Chains A and B, each alone.
Chain A
Amino acid sequence: MRASRALGLSPRAAAALGLFLAVMLLLPFLVNAYIVSVLVVVLFAAYFGQSWNIMTGFAGQLSLGHALYVGLGAYTSAALFVHFGLTPWLGMIAGMAVAALAGSAIAALSFRFRVGGVYFALLTIAFAEFTRILFDHFGWVGATEGLFLPVANLAHDDPVRLRGSPVMFYYLLLVLSLAALVLSHSLLDRRVGYYWQAIREDEEAARALGIDVFRYKIAAMALSAAMTALGGTLLAFYDNNLYPDTVFAMGRSIEIIIAPIIGGLGTLFGPIVGAFLLTGLGETMTNLSTYFEISGLKQWFYGAALLAIVALQPSGLWPWLSRALGLWERRR
């Protein structure tokens, strides 16, 4: 009960969360390998969404280039592993540091020059694309030829070197996403969370209340970038191959942000709900369109679904869903 109170949940919501967790823990034993692979995609989307949500949902700075941090995390840890045999658990920290530095630098440059709003969003795209093209020519990490992690056929999962089955990654990601949930909640409940939200709502008023807006925005970006990079490391060791054009793709940046937006921007559970819905939708469409054999059908329905959501629930599904189920999340 204390845990539920700490998360600001009603008993009913705590029960629902407990049930959800129990199902998630048992799920790999109940479903086939295909479903597990889909669930891994869901958890990646949820975790990346949660990381992005801190920057845009909490602190209100629209970043459209988060693939940059996925890529920096993925490439740093993978390259250290391939070239020096460094364990990904240390490589991950290096990746987070690189991403946090890059994020802070981009944020510092933009906000120092008073680049805000839409301009900031476009600047984040520009940095991501610029980096993608640089990596296309970065021979040490394979350039356009790609960077490959040796695939070992192991009898057992090897968590130390992050070599293993999708089920291992499923549980790692589940833990990661839960940790992100707890962290997000705890941040929102502290001074820093209040300050971020104040900045999101009205920067001038935030300043007048003594908030060093510049510093707090950079902190949000650094944390968000580092968390994203951590997910990038897992992605690299899950996929085993990295190409700049897929890792840093603009399409990935967009994917990262759709889930939290349709789930409910700035809410704790929105990114998770959005990830389930979006991945489920995508998989269904893929299966349907293979059945009908019409290329483009999948994207068409996907677009139509996005349109329906933004028309019917523009502030996201989670606020609506939690009300409908009686799991009222306190207003943020």
Chain B
Amino acid sequence: MSAALLEVRGISKRFRGLQAVDNVSFAVPPGGIVALIGPNGAGKTTTFNLIAGAMVPDGGSIVLDGADITGGRPDQACRAGIGRTFQLVKPFGALSVLQNVMVGAFKATADRVAARRAAWEILERLGLAEKAENPAKTLTLPERKRLETARALATRPKILLLDEVMAGLRPTEIDQMVRAFADLSRETGLAILLTEHVMRAVMALSHHIVVLHHGQKICEGAPEQVARDPQVLECYLGHAQAAERPGA
């Protein structure tokens, strides 16, 4: 575990009486693909926001590649090596798709030609090259999600945080995306932390799964192992029954 690329140690976040994230710990090894799953309101997006510097945790620490990045600003987190996407996509609407990705690529280089080349490569990898010159506001929602990913990738992160980028995709598109991410991770050694409701993608892509429920980690392990865990089944399937039993 000490060789982890990203180490989250007991982070917590409270919003006005609601414990959104409660003492959650997990780790992502170099090149690893870890999925963060759980029902709606489990605290997945808050966890992402804490890691990416969009929110400051009330407690705990976040270590990336040996450096403590807890409580830094989002731009500092990005420069430390965290690339993120937003669940509610945030394209730079008036800029072209290529320019959107170039903004990300400018993190690694101030040279416009180099940034342009890097952006093209990423667009091709994610199948957006044909749309490169279109304004980002003309993209469809699945395309916007891919653009989010492309932009984050362009910052050359050590770890990529994907917040439901498969939502709204057709099954064949999901398989394409899964393949693209798996290739990317294998070829470049990129680590990925993802949240996803599409179980098909989670099972196919991730090496390791962390399950959150009411802000707490209830289980983690290999995909097959997690899928058989009674607690996980209960929180996903037996939600109604579980809620009726006090103390459950």
Q: Across the interface, which residues of A come within 8 angstroms of B91, CB to CB?
A: 201-202, 205
**Stretch of B29-37, B102-110, B121-129, B193-201 at the chain-chain interface:** B102-110
| A22 in contact (CB, < 8 A) | no
Q: Is the CB–CB distance between A209 and B112 below 8 Å?
A: no
Task: With A195-B106, A207-B73, A208-B75 given, name 7 new contacts (CB 8 A).
Answer: A198-B95, A207-B54, A207-B75, A209-B75, A210-B78, A211-B75, A331-B135
Q: When A194-B99, A194-B106 are in contact, do A207 and B74 touch as well, CB less than 8 Å? A: yes
What separation, in Å, do the CA atoms of A266 and B92 have in the docked complex? 14
Q: Is the CB–CB distance between A191 and B74 below 8 Å?
A: no
Query: Which of B54, B94, B104 touches A331 (beta carbons < 8 Å)?
Result: B94
Q: Across the interface, which residues of B come within 8 angstroms of A198, CB to CB?
A: 92, 95, 103
- Report B's interface with A, CB cutoff 8 A: 52, 54, 73-75, 78-79, 84, 86, 90-96, 99, 102-104, 106-107, 110, 112, 115, 135, 151-152, 154-155
| A106 in contact (CB, < 8 A) | no
Q: Across the interface, which residues of B come within 8 angstroms of A266, CB to CB?
A: 94
Q: Is the CB–CB distance between B54 and A332 below 8 Å?
A: no
Q: Distance in Å from the Cβ of B112 to the closest Cβ of chain A?
A: 6
What separation, in Å, do the CA atoms of A266 and B95 have in the docked complex? 12
What separation, in Å, do the CA atoms of A30 and B57 have in the docked complex? 70
Query: Which of A189, A190, A201, A210 touches B92 (beta carbons < 8 Å)?
Result: A201
Residues 197-229 of A, flagged 1 when their CB comes within 8 A of B and 0 if not, give 110111011111111110000000000000000
Q: When A194-B102, A195-B103, A210-B155 are in contact, do A205 and B92 touch as well, CB less than 8 Å? A: yes
What separation, in Å, do the CA atoms of A202 and B94 have in the docked complex? 10
Q: What 8 A-B pairs are tightest by C-beta distance, nearest first?
A: A210-B78, A201-B92, A205-B90, A207-B74, A210-B107, A191-B106, A202-B90, A198-B103
Residues 171-204 of A, flagged 1 when their CB comes within 8 A of B and 0 if not, give 0000000000000000001110011011011101
Residue of B nearest to A216 (CB): B75
Q: Is the CB–CB distance between B90 and A191 below 8 Å?
A: no
Query: Which of B86, B93, B102, B154 touches A201 (beta carbons < 8 Å)?
Result: B93
Residue of A nearest to B161 (CB): A208
Q: Bin the interface of chain A by size.
A: 20 to 34
What separation, in Å, do the CA atoms of A209 and B151 have in the docked complex? 8
Q: Is the CB–CB distance between B90 and A209 below 8 Å?
A: no
Interface residues of A in 299-314 (CB under 8 A from B): none
21 intermolecular pairs with C-beta atoms under 8 Å apart: A191-B115, A194-B102, A197-B92, A197-B94, A200-B94, A202-B91, A204-B54, A205-B92, A205-B151, A206-B92, A206-B103, A207-B54, A207-B74, A207-B75, A207-B78, A209-B107, A209-B151, A209-B152, A210-B78, A211-B103, A331-B96
Interface residues of A in 244-286 (CB under 8 A from B): 266
Grouping DSSP codes into helix (H, G, I), strand (E, B) and loop, the A interface class, with mixed when no group exceeds half, is helix
Q: Is the CB–CB distance between A209 and B94 below 8 Å?
A: no
Q: Distance in Å from the Cβ of B142 to the closest Cβ of chain A?
A: 18
Q: Is the CB–CB distance between B75 and A210 below 8 Å?
A: yes
Residue of B nearest to A201 (CB): B92
Query: Which of A190, A207, A210 touches B112 (beta carbons < 8 Å)?
Result: A190
What separation, in Å, do the CA atoms of A81 and B102 have in the docked complex? 47
Q: Is the CB–CB distance between A208 and B84 below 8 Å?
A: yes
Residue of B nearest to A194 (CB): B103
What separation, in Å, do the CA atoms of A268 and B117 have in the docked complex? 25
Q: Select the residue from A201, A212, A332 with max chain B CB neighbours within 10 A.
A: A201
Interface residues of A in 24-40 (CB under 8 A from B): none
Q: Across the interface, which residues of A come within 8 angstroms of B90, CB to CB?
A: 202, 204-205
Q: When A189-B112, A198-B103, A206-B103 are in contact, do A212 and B94 touch as well, CB less than 8 Å? A: no
Q: Is the CB–CB distance between A208 and B92 below 8 Å?
A: no
Query: Which of A191, A202, A210, A213 touches B79 (beta carbons < 8 Å)?
Result: A210
Q: Across the interface, which residues of A come within 8 angstroms of B94, CB to CB?
A: 197, 200-201, 266, 331-332
Q: When A204-B54, A204-B86, A205-B86 are in contact, do A197 and B73 touch as well, CB less than 8 Å? A: no
Q: Across the interface, which residues of A come within 8 angstroms of B92, CB to CB?
A: 197-198, 201-202, 205-206
Q: Select the residue from A189, A190, A197, A207 with max chain B CB neighbours within 10 A.
A: A207
Q: Distance in Å from the Cβ of B77 to the closest Cβ of chain A?
A: 8
